[in-house]
């Protein structure tokens, strides 16, 4: 079609139909067309009018076409604002009828040789219009007001002085718009100056509601404690398959730590620091009012990570996530919420769409390993840089995992399998282990709201994940239903049900030493992966001893078949009764029911006595019921009161049983328990607990600017002795909305001061307070044994006393928001397991001991930084700082280690009086009276003081937060989310042992002249230093250039003993006897967490195919670090999610992944 068609319509002879075309730009330009008719038709063309009637232009065209040979082609909507005309019964010429149709408009035309008439609008004379934009109430200047000529894309914005200037024709309509204000339209006349005063919109003054404890929605201004809400759009922005990792950097004080960037790893979620030394510090998760399981997870050094139950929750089903940060916020949820609570509200069918609403989300991302170690590619496998020769005088390959061998220069070397191969650098031999992973997610939901009587939402999501380590994969199917039925004005029933069917195959083992020390720099991966014999068994010599770990890992994930199949259902049935205004009774009952079936098929590595098979089953049940009664009443014109009372009950049960073969399989690779060579073995256990609670709350509202809430709750738990298992705790919070008293202040839109105080308590872990024993067997006889921990005598619940002060403001027409909070939490009667003398027959005793404090400040800033006609920039910055300190422990105890063993005894992560929880303490070298390091007589290593450990760091970050930005230009938006953490020391297994074994670039120091090594030769078993690297040895001995002299004193004199670089690294970085503080790194980082580039299709392009909304997105997750202090590893890598060493120890786990892909979102 002609390119000028957007400003014209044309008609031609001898056509048979009308064509309508939808072009997005035309819909905004249709009101400015004008027409000057001229004689187009023959004078003989007459039109007969049957009856007098009022017609539109389109109807006139229809009338003409029915009685002539002409056919019109024009843009749909082009005559939308053209007035109708009255035609009287009789006969009228076609020209007169056409002229009458456009008497209010002017159009020019030209006739082409093809008998085509092209009509275009005549240009009008433009004039410059200028003026000032202000607030109608205060007269304050409004900068950034959009001034648009209606029906076009032509527009400007007012400057910082509120001045705008635009060219417009007489009769044009100027449209003024500004965030938080009502739009205003003014017709341009003869005036050249048009000043505009805009009125604040009712929308900007709309009441904001947030979800608080027990799912109660309150006006934001009435809440006296810190709460933050993350909406669905932020959660699914980059198609993150894990809801918790989607919250990185989005809420002040919410610390998220993932043990893996894949969707199957564990996640640690802590609010405002640790409140228990040995207990679970993670927040309580509530889904639609029902508490769900979320436990600590760990991969250990030699095992795989099972992930957290929270991983199962489908992000596509979530409407919002509300973070209740303080103890006040969680007071009504009971002792399990002493660490705060995270409320997940799923999507419902409450929308206003016509018909059945359909939403489709589809995404695909590719996942590649990132943040790999920076290896050296100069020296290969071996202990010395000199060659070992065989009997034939050939250079031979060393099978050691140390990389202190000769330089890799392409020499021909006799390999471990007898072949001659090039001894050359293998820069990608670690990276080549991994493959490109892929994650596909597709979801569809149907929703309907029938006259606000019945609503429902039914959703289904499928995820197919293939991991970056060969053989790892997961398939997820999620089905959700959320429905409400209003039986009458008094009765409403609701049902929320979510079912998850998840099968995971070959969860990757922790790679442990693979990145750090095994698998030398000269190892060839193409040889390693050839590990299967012709008859299907393992080649035990495949690659030599230096790659045995990699060979085993590849076999485990490629040949073995380890599966866990999870079926989980989370239900919530509610019954709401409102007999009269102000009174509501709500009964909620539901549960979290999970069955997991495990099957491990270990393929036979040899023809006999190998292979294995095991099966296991775990059944977890959590049942929760709750009844609340709420009554609201206006006491007077100044005072409203709301009363709440309720009871709740939670019961948890877990059953586990397993059975496995022993001694290998009789028939190789026949996986049956009956195929066991030896007698099979099994085990099982059953655990359970119950908590009940009675609670109440009083809410007061004075003149809608002063609010107060008083709560009380009494819990009873089965995990404590009956003498101590019932405990009461109260809370009070106040909110003062001072902006209600300053309504004449235009720059302040909202201002609130809040204060809260609470006391919460929580019981012990299951069976921690009980005298228990375990069943076992020995030679067919049943045995039982007691725990090595002395059972407590009078264990009390842990107590937390919390004070919170805060302020919230919204300024400059809601363009800037400020939220600041200070808190001080005192944790007493901490339940810990303290070590006791082995002579007592036990190793530890469970007691109430000590006090731990958390003091902190949280700051959130959000604002509309820039706003023009086409462009906007929104930003959010949040920062949190928490200071933790152990105030006291048990009498006579200065410190103890909550968890240990992953690293060894040379360095521990401890709790010590006067220090934050998570202090690193290590054995360090001895010093003489002058402070000089003492070197051992052999000169290889320092004298280490193993009588006491010294503080060498702390694992708690100094502060952390996020910086989130959204840029929008017309239909295009760009979101960039950055999160950061400053401080906090992590022990890096990869850096420590990778340096000690010569794999990392950090081990190149001293290894030659260029790297600072000293020259020496060996004579009579002694190393003798030379004056320079160019100096020859006296008797032609080999000159070495990798000498090191440890700084310090040896035998009372300055050390001059020279040692090879290998000795320095091997002894300094040795397991359990080296200088472990060298493995600690300040874990400061700034990460580009998420990027999304989105295009939202114009409605004019998608309306005709029934689509309401459509967007195409390019997405990226875990993209890159803008800064990271710890080299060679992903700073977020850790063993697991428990408190202490477990979450501050990087142990060579699976590398982090970078995910890049695209997503499509459709709404019908």
Pull the structure tokens for residue 820.
């600041």
Q: Other CB atoms closer than 10 Å to residue 901's CB: what's the count?
A: 11
CB 166 within 8 A of CB 188: no
Provide the pairing of β-strand 284-287 with 341-346.
parallel
Q: What is the DSSP string of 99-115?
A: HHHTTT--EEEEE-TTS
Tell me, what's the pLDDT at 261? 58
Instruction: Give CA torsion, residues 1019, 1025, 1030, 1032, to 10 deg.
Output: -20
C-alpha span between 602 and 588 (Å, rounded)? 46
Which one, of 810, 853, 821, 828, lies nearest residue 756 by Cα? 821
SS3 (DSSP) at 739: helix
Burial of 1003 (0-12, 13-18, 19+ CB in 10 A): buried
Provide the pairing of β-strand 919-925 with 907-912.
antiparallel
Give the H or E element holding residue 847: strand 844-848
C-alpha span between 242 and 265 (Å, rounded)? 9
Measured CA to CA in angstroms, residue 823 lies from 334, 710, 801 at distances of 20, 19, 11
CB 995 within 8 A of CB 1065: yes
CB 727 within 8 A of CB 797: yes
Which one, of 990, 993, 1146, 989, lies nearest residue 1067 by Cα? 993
Which one, of 901, 789, 795, 770, lies nearest residue 836 by Cα? 789
Q: Other CB atoms closer than 10 Å to residue 1025's CB: what's the count?
A: 14
Give the position of tokens 């053209």.
82
C-alpha span between 207 and 109 (Å, rounded)? 55
Task: Please give the radius of gyration of the chain, using alpha carbons only, rounded to the nearest integer.
Answer: 37
Q: What is the DSSP string of 888-940?
A: E-STT--EE-SS--SS-SSEEEEEEBTS-TTEEEEEEE-B-TTSPBEEPTTSS
- Domains along the chain? 3-121 (no CATH), 126-198 (2.60.40.1120), 211-349 (2.170.130.10), 998-1068 (no CATH)
Q: What is the DSSP letter of 1160?
A: E
Cβ neighbours of residue 432 under 8 Å, at least 6 residues apart?
525
User: 989-996 and 1061-1068 are packed helices; what angle lies between their axes, rounded to 10 degrees?
Assistant: 150
C-alpha span between 78 and 10 (Å, rounded)? 12
User: 57-67 and 94-101 are packed helices; what angle lies between their axes, rounded to 10 degrees?
Assistant: 170
Q: Other CB atoms closer than 10 Å to residue 840's CB: what's the count?
A: 10
Q: What are the mean pLDDT values of the chain's consecutive 10-residue runs (1164 residues total)?
A: 35 32 28 40 73 81 75 60 79 76 52 44 70 83 84 79 89 85 88 89 59 70 84 85 86 81 77 82 83 63 62 86 77 75 84 78 94 93 89 89 92 89 92 92 91 88 93 93 90 93 89 79 85 82 65 85 93 92 92 93 89 94 92 91 93 93 93 93 89 92 92 90 89 91 83 92 81 67 72 84 93 90 92 72 79 94 87 93 91 78 76 90 92 92 90 92 94 94 92 93 94 94 94 92 94 93 93 88 94 89 82 93 93 63 76 92 89
CB 7 within 8 A of CB 23: no
Residue 592 φ then ψ, to 5°: -125, 110
Pull the structure tokens for residue 424.
């050359």
C-alpha span between 795 and 847 (Å, rounded)? 6
Q: Using H for helix, E for strand and C for coil, what is the string for 969-1038?
A: ECCEEEEEEEEEEECCEEEEHHHHHHHHCCCEHHHCCCCCCCCCCEEEEEECCEEEECCCCCCCCCCCCC
Which one, of 447, 460, 455, 449, lies nearest residue 495 by Cα? 455
């Amino acid at each position: 079609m002609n390119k000028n068609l957007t400003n014209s319509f044309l008609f031609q002879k001898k056509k048979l139909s009308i064509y309508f075309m939808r072009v997005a730009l035309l819909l905004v330009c249709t009101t400015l067309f004008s027409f000057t008719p001229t004689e187009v038709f023959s004078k003989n063309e007459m039109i007969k009018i049957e009856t007098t009637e009022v017609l539109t232009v389109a109807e006139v065209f229809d009338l003409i076409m029915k009685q002539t040979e002409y056919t019109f082609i024009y843009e749909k909507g082009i005559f939308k604002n053209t007035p109708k005309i009255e035609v009287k019964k009789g006969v009228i010429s076609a020209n007169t009828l056409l002229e009458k149709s456009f008497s209010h408009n002017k159009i020019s035309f030209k006739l082409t040789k093809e008998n085509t008439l092209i009509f275009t609008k005549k240009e009008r004379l433009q004039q410059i219009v200028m003026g000032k934009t202000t607030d109608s109430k205060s007269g304050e200047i409004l900068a950034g007001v959009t001034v648009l000529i209606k029906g076009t894309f032509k527009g400007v914005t007012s400057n910082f002085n509120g001045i705008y200037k635009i060219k417009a024709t007489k009769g044009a309509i100027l449209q003024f718009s500004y965030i938080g204000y009502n739009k205003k339209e003014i017709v341009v006349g003869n005036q050249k100056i048009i000043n505009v005063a805009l009125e604040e919109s009712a929308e900007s003054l709309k009441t904001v509601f947030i979800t608080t404890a027990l799912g109660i929605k309150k006006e934001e201004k009435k809440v006296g404690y810190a709460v933050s809400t993350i909406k669905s759009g932020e959660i699914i922005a980059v198609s993150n398959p894990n809801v918790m990792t989607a919250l990185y950097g989005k809420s002040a004080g919410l610390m998220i730590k993932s043990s893996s960037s894949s969707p199957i790893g564990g996640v640690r979620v802590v609010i405002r620091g640790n409140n228990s030394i040995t207990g679970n510090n993670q927040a309580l998760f509530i889904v639609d009012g029902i508490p769900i399981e979320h436990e600590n997870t760990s991969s250990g050094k030699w095992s795989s990570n099972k992930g957290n139950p929270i991983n199962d929750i489908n992000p596509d089903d979530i409407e919002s996530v509300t973070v209740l940060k303080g103890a006040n916020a969680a007071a009504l949820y009971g002792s399990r919420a002493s660490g705060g609570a995270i409320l997940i509200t799923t999507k419902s069918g409450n929308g206003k769409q016509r018909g059945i609403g359909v939403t489709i989300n589809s995404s695909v991302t590719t996942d590649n390993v990132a943040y790999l170690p920076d290896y050296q590619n100069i020296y290969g496998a071996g202990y010395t840089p000199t060659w070992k020769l065989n009997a034939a005088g050939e250079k031979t390959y060393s099978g050691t995992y140390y990389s202190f061998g000769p330089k890799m220069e392409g020499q021909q070397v006799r390999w471990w399998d007898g072949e001659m191969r090039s001894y050359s650098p293998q820069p990608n031999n670690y990276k080549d282990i991994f493959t490109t992973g892929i994650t596909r997610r597709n979801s569809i939901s149907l929703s309907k709201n029938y006259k606000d009587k019945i609503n429902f939402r039914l959703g289904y999501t499928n995820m197919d994940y293939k991991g970056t380590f060969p053989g790892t994969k997961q398939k997820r199917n999620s089905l959700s239903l959320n429905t409400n039925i209003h039986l009458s004005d008094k009765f409403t029933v609701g049902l929320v049900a979510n079912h998850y069917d998840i099968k995971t195959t070959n969860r990757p083992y922790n790679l442990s030493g693979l990145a750090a020390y095994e698998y030398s720099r000269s190892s060839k991966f193409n040889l390693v992966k050839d590990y299967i014999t012709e008859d299907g068994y393992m080649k035990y010599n495949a690659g030599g001893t230096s790659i045995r770990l990699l060979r085993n890992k590849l076999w485990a994930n490629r040949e073995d078949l380890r599966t866990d199949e999870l079926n989980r259902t989370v239900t919530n049935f509610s019954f709401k009764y409102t007999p009269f205004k102000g009174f509501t009774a709500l009964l909620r009952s539901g549960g979290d029911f999970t069955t997991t079936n495990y099957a491990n098929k270990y393929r036979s590595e040899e023809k006999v006595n190998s292979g294995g098979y095991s099966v296991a089953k775990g059944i977890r049940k959590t049942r929760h019921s709750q009844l609340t009664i709420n009554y609201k009443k206006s006491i007077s014109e100044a005072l409203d009161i709301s009363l709440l009372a309720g009871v709740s009950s939670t019961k948890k049960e877990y059953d586990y049983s397993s059975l496995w073969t022993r001694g290998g399989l009789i028939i190789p690779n026949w996986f049956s328990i009956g195929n066991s060579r030896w007698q099979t073995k099994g085990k099982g256990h059953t655990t359970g607990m119950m908590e009940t609670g009675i609670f109440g709350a009083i809410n007061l509202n004075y003149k809608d600017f002063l609010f107060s809430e008083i709560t009380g709750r009494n819990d009873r738990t089965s995990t404590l002795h009956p003498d101590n298992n019932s405990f009461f705790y109260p809370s009070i919070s106040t909110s003062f909305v001072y902006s209600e008293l300053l309504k004449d202040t235009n720059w302040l839109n909202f201002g609130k001061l809040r204060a809260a105080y609470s006391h919460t308590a929580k019981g012990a872990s299951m069976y921690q307070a009980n005298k228990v024993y375990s069943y076992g067997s020995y030679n067919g006889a049943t045995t039982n044994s007691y725990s090595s921990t002395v059972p407590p005598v009078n264990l009390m619940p842990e107590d937390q006393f919390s004070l919170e002060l805060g302020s919230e403001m919204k300024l400059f027409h809601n363009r800037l928001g400020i939220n600041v909070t200070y808190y001080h939490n005192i944790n007493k009667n901490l339940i810990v397991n303290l070590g006791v003398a082995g002579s007592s027959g036990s190793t530890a005793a469970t007691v109430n001991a000590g006090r731990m404090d958390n003091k902190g400040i949280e700051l959130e800033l959000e604002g509309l930084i820039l706003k023009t006609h086409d462009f906007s920039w929104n930003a959010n910055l949040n920062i949190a700082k928490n200071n933790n300190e152990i105030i006291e422990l048990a009498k006579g105890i200065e410190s103890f280690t909550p968890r240990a063993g992953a690293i060894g005894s040379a360095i521990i992560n401890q709790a010590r009086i006067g220090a934050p929880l998570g202090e690193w303490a290590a054995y360090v070298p001895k010093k003489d009276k002058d402070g000089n390091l003492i070197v051992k007589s052999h000169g290889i290593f320092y004298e280490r003081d193993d009588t006491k450990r010294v503080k060498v760091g702390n694992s708690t970050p100094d502060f952390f937060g996020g910086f989130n930005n959204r840029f929008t230009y017309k239909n295009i938006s760009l979101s960039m989310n950055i999160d950061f953490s400053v401080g906090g020391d992590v022990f890096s297994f990869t850096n420590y042992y990778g340096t000690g074994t010569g794999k990392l670039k950090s081990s190149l120091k001293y290894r030659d002249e260029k790297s600072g090594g000293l020259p020496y030769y060996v004579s009579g078993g002694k190393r003798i230093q030379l004056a320079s690297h160019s100096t020859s040895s006296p008797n032609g001995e080999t000159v070495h250039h990798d000498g090191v002299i440890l700084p310090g004193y040896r035998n009372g004199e300055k050390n001059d003993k020279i040692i090879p670089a290998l000795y320095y690294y091997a002894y300094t970085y040795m397991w359990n006897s080296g200088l472990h503080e060298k493995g600690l790194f300040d874990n400061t980082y700034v990460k580009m967490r998420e990027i999304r580039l989105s295009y939202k299709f114009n409605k004019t392009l998608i309306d005709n195919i029934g689509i309401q909304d459509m967007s195409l997105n390019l997405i990226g997750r875990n993209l890159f670090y803008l800064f990271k202090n710890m080299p060679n590893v992903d700073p977020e890598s850790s063993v697991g999610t428990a408190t202490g060493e477990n979450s501050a120890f990087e142990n060579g786990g699976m590398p982090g992944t970078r995910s890049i892909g695209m997503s499509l979102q459709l709404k019908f």
